[in-house]
Structure 1
Amino acid sequence: MDFDFSAILLALTVLFGVVWGLDRLMLYRKRKARFEAAAEEYRDPAAVDWARSLFPVIFVVLLLRSFVAEPFRIPSGSMMPTLDVGDFILVNKFAYGLRLPAFNNKVVGLGEPKRGDVVVFRFPGYICQDDNGRTVRSGDMTCADTHAPVPGQNWIKRVIGLPGDTIEVHDSQIVINGKPVVDTQIGSFKGNPARPEDNELLYYNATVWSEQLGPVNHLIARMPARGPTPPVPNARVPSVVPPNCYLVMGDDRENSEDSRWWGCLPEQNLVGKAFMIWFSWKGWGTGSVDFHRIGTVIH
């Protein structure tokens, strides 16, 4: 089962607020009068005391996570070498507008993603055609079950194509509106063979490149020997990015399940913009805390 912390925070905020509010409106005065009549020191019932104490704390946490910044942990190597497995990042929740917690509906528009942004989003599912020929999103990659539920997961990728862009992708070569993306090989990937995510890149003789996406210069990893990736356009991705949609890709280009596989990212699935690594844990015996990555601004 997917763990939706925002939904849990919202539910607890409502629960504690209702318990505390109803008690103050309906029960508090009579209870206090009984204590005064018995000449006893007043005290709230345990449930009300907990609700009164926890409601403001959880409410503030909910506001901060929903509208300011939210922490996330990188679980996979799809964004290497920019983001590593075990990096803990902060995500700007108001970069692309204020959204209701849990429901993610935008209530105030403050900006739109730019080419090169690293974005966190709710996985939208795979684009499929149902029995009636309608385009739907499914949790089944093969589209054999077009009604398969889409996992409620947060993913992270880099914005490559904006609405209206004409995009071509062949392996790691990207062409945007007729102009090839400029990239320069830096050298071979250097890593720790004891870490599975590093070992794969080393096994396939990965190379590291500097890529320029608009004003954003960042690193990508390439390992063509790992096997081909879907080109763009393909059955799920047209050559022109649809309105209110974005084409996103991982920086580990041959090891990223991204828009090439499941289609464009709908605007309503955006969560926020990743902007800083606040902690990095490489694992016991394979680097432990990586102090050099702490405080790194994400480009």
Structure 2
Amino acid sequence: MNFDFPAILVAATFITGFIWLADALVWAPKRRKKAEQEGGIAFAEPTVVEYAKSFFPVILAVLLLRSFLVEPFRIPSGSMMPTLLVGDFILVNKYAYGIRLPVLNRKVADMGEPERGDVMVFRFPRDPSVDYIKRVVGLPGDHVVYRNKTLFINDQKVAQIPAGTYIGKGSGLSMSGASVRREILGDVEHEILVMPRIKGVTADVVVPEGHYFVMGDNRDNSNDSRYWGFVPDQNLVGKAFMIWMNWDSAAGGIAWDRIGDSIN
């Protein structure tokens, strides 16, 4: 079951805030008046009011932080290997692609647009309750071709540099033996994995306005735009920028060397 956490946060903020306000404007004055009538006896705040006053500022701060600044995510699959591994906990910049209202997902301020090579979190077009993370390959208007494990953007071949053989561990052990290649996508140089013996899925598309073409860095093990199409602008969540923790029980727990790594 997928919980709509933003909706829960908004609801909790509204409920606790309403209780606090109602107490300040209505219930507390009534308690004071009753206390005066009964000889100055102080009446304790109802438990629900105490809890509301305690939790409202905390919930509001969390709502504002994760809605407009930074939101944490956990990587559940190997589709972005070797850039991101199973068990990586990442931070996502929520304002890089514009400030959006929580729940409504309506953009209220333009702050920037996705650039080719960005590692982007978005709501899966076929099921917006699920968040996906992929690399931006094609921008609006781009002609994107993927064949023979190679990208072509607007008829220009995207450079790839052989970088050895991948040695996996933990949950990524199955990818051992894959070919590692350094790909230069726009201003971003990053590594990808390809399986030479697997016939790759091809693509030949023009990205429509207001949409993006995305792919996983684990090119032969990624459910991405080659299979289900484009990501509309209204589905954008933010730009991944840092790994703050990694926990992979199959690899023995915490990978200390990944903590604090930037995401390219």
CA–CA distance in structure 2, aligned partners of residues 214 and 244 of structure 1: 19
For 1:247-294, what per-residue CA distance to the aligned partner results, in whole angstroms no more than 9, with x for missing partners?
00000000000001110110110000000000111216x232111111
SS of 1:65's equivalent in the other structure is helix
Identity %, equivalent residues: 51
Residue type matched to 1:66 in 2?
Answer: S
Given that residues 147 and 200 in structure 2 are in contact (C-alpha distance below 8 angstroms), is that contact kept between their aligned partners in structure 1? no
| Alignment pair present for 1:156 and 2:127 | no
Q: Aligned partners of 2:99 and 2:116: how far apart in 1?
A: 20
Supply the distance in 1 between the matched residues of 2:79 and 2:184 (Cα, whole angstroms).
Answer: 19
Matching residue of 1:297: 262
Q: Aligned residue for 1:107?
A: 108
Unaligned runs of 5+ in 2: none
Aligned twin of 2:54: 53
TM-score for the superposition, normalised by structure 2? 0.95
Count of residue pairs brought into register by the alignment: 263
Distance of aligned partners of 1:16 and 1:171 in 2 relative to their CA distance in 1, 3 Å threshold? farther
Q: Which residue of 1 aligns with 2:156?
A: 179
Name the Cα RMSD after superposition: 1.4
Stretches (4+) displaced over 3 A: none
Aligned to 1:219: 191
Q: Do the aligned residues in 2 keep the contact of 1:35 with 1:42 (CA within 8 Å)?
A: yes
In structure 2, give the amino acid aligned to 1:212: I
> What is the distance in 1 between the residues matched to 2:7 and 2:203?
36
Code of the residue aligned with 2:31 in structure 1: it is R
Partners of 2:63 and 2:159 lie apart in 1 by: 41
Equivalence map 1:61-140=2 (5 Å): 61-125=62-126
Counterparts of 1:264 and 1:155 in 2: how far apart (Å)? 13
With structure 1 as the length reference, what TM-score do the two structures score? 0.85
CA contact (8 A) 2:32 2:42 kept: no
Partner of 1:15: 15
Q: What is aligned with 1:141? A: none
Distance in 2 (CA, whole Å) between partners of 1:24 and 1:247 is 51
Q: Does 1:228 align with 2:228?
A: no
Deviation digits for residues 115-146 of structure 1, max 9, x if unmatched?
00000011111xxxxxxxxxxxxxxxxxxxxx
| 1:103 CA displacement | 1.9
Shift of 1:227: 4.1
In the alignment, structure 1 segments of 5+ residues that lack a partner are: 126-149, 234-238
1:36, distance to aligned residue in structure 2 (A):
3.5
- Say whether the 8 Å CA contact 1:10–1:62 is kept in structure 2: yes
The yes-or-no answer on 1:207 pairing with 2:179 is yes
